[in-house]
């Protein structure tokens, strides 16, 4: 099927379990106004996340730093692909102020891929983490990073700021990776997670996520989950892929909630510290529900 044919083809009707009631809380508009006031980007808007109404209504958001233009063009992602602008040196301070005003106890900081920068934006992650911690002592800091082309230097820069959770998404199974992701590879993502765990085994949690519904088989899903566990990944998210626009990859299958429950159970049996598995789960959806005492070393790793 050509791109033109795919765009014209009607999108499949969403099953009942994926239909969302929009909240009426004033907190939604207050959060939106705060983000506009501080000139901040969120993955909630840029990636057209289906949960941003709920998250903003609870006063939470996933901050997307380093601009809203990505150097990669993944087939699933709604973030704009274009030549990025220069980094804004005051952005870390603005993110920190947002966490203070929102009174967050768990923040997720992500970024577009910045292959145009020598360090891939790693030092911008570092300064943002440090600014957030200074403005909001005791906050649990989670980063969701690109792969940095699997270079130790940028990975070490991010780790030097001591985030509590280092998240990098595998996104899909091995077979589908070339058609789903841009430049990133299955093995490279596993390598990044493995390196982080090897460098900070006793002081950081690693996390990853997989989208379902792109045409993968059950055996491939379970293999991907096992591969993540073999590199020491602690936290896993599994969610339904939803086509953000007609120009993006189509949904091949809507996975039923019962199947997500089964995958979550299987992952728990493999030894993941925490698993979130469901149709509307995203990398940072309900991230603050991660239990601080979910592992024997958690009191040390996640100490305030």
Of the listed ranges 35-44, 117-126, 144-153, 274-283, the least confidently predicted one is: 35-44
Give residue-wise pLDDT tens across range 194-209. 999 999 988 999 999 9
Give residue-wise pLDDT tens across range 157-194. 999 999 999 999 999 999 999 999 989 999 999 999 99
- 81 versus 54: which is more confidently predicted? 81
The span from the CA of 102 to the CA of 189, in Å, is 32
Look at residue 50 in the predicted model and tell me its pLDDT. Answer: 52
Q: With cut-offs at 50, 70 and 90, classify the pLDDT of residue 137.
A: very high
Q: What is the dihedral of CA 187, 190, 191, 192, to 10 degrees?
A: 130
Give residue-wise pLDDT tens across range 101-132. 888 888 899 999 999 999 999 999 999 999 99
Of the listed ranges 2-11, 69-78, 290-299, the least confidently predicted one is: 290-299
- Domain limits, the chain: 24-301
Look at residue 17 in the predicted model and tell me its pLDDT. Answer: 77
What is the secondary structure of the chain as a DSSP string?
A: --HHHHHHSPPPPPPGGG--PPP--HHHHHHHHHHHHTT-EEHHHHTT-TTHHHHHHTT--EEEES-SEES---TT--SEESPPPPP-TTHHHHHHHHHHHHT-SEEEEEE---TTSTTTTHHHHHHHHHHHHHHSTT-EEEEE---GGG-HHHHHHHHTT--SEEE---BS-TTTHHHHSSS--HHHHHHHHHHHHHHSTTT-EEEEEEEE-SS--HHHHHHHHHHHHHTT--EEEEEE---SSTTSPPP--PPPHHHHHHHHHHHHHHT-SEEEESTT--TTTTGGGS-TTSSTTHHHHT--
Look at residue 4 in the predicted model and tell me its pLDDT. Answer: 46
Tell me the β-bridge partners of 69.
Answer: 80
Q: Which of 110, 111, 82, 77 minimizes the C-alpha distance to 244?
A: 77
Using alpha carbons, list the distances in angstroms from residue 129 to 42, 53, 85, 197: 16, 25, 21, 19
For the entire predicted model, the pTM comes to 0.84
Look at residue 13 in the predicted model and tell me its pLDDT. Answer: 78
For 24-301, CATH gives 3.20.20.70
């Amino acid at each position: 099927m050509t791109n033109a044919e795919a765009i014209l083809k009607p999108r499949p009707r969403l099953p009942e379990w994926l239909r969302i009631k929009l909240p009426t809380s004033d907190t939604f508009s207050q959060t939106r106004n705060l983000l506009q006031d501080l000139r901040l980007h969120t993955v909630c808007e840029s990636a057209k996340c289906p949960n941003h109404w709920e998250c903003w209504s609870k006063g939470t958001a996933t901050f997307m730093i380093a601009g809203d233009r990505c150097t990669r063009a993944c087939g699933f992602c709604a973030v704009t692909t274009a030549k990025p602008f220069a980094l804004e040196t005051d952005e870390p301070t603005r993110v920190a102020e947002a966490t203070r005003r929102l009174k967050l106890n768990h923040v997720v900081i992500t970024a577009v891929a910045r292959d145009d920068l020598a360090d891939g934006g790693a030092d911008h992650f570092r300064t943002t983490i440090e600014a957030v911690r200074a403005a909001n002592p005791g906050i649990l800091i989670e980063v969701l990073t690109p792969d940095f082309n699997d270079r130790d230097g940028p990975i070490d820069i991010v780790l030097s700021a001591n985030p509590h959770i280092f998240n990098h998404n595998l996104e899909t199974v091995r077979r589908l990776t070339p058609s789903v992701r841009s430049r990133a590879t299955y093995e490279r993502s596993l390598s990044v997670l493995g390196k982080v765990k090897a460098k900070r085994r006793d002081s950081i949690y690693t996390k990853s996520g997989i989208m379902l519904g792109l045409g993968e088989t059950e055996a491939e899903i379970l293999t991907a989950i096992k591969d993540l566990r073999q590199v020491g990944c602690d936290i896993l998210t599994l969610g339904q892929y939803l086509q953000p626009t007609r120009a993006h990859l189509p949904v091949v299958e809507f996975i039923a909630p019962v199947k997500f429950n089964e995958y979550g159970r299987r992952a728990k049996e493999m030894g993941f510290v925490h698993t979130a598995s469901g149709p509307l789960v995203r990398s940072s959806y309900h991230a603050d529900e991660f239990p601080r005492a979910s592992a024997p070393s958690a009191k040390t790793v996640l100490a305030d």
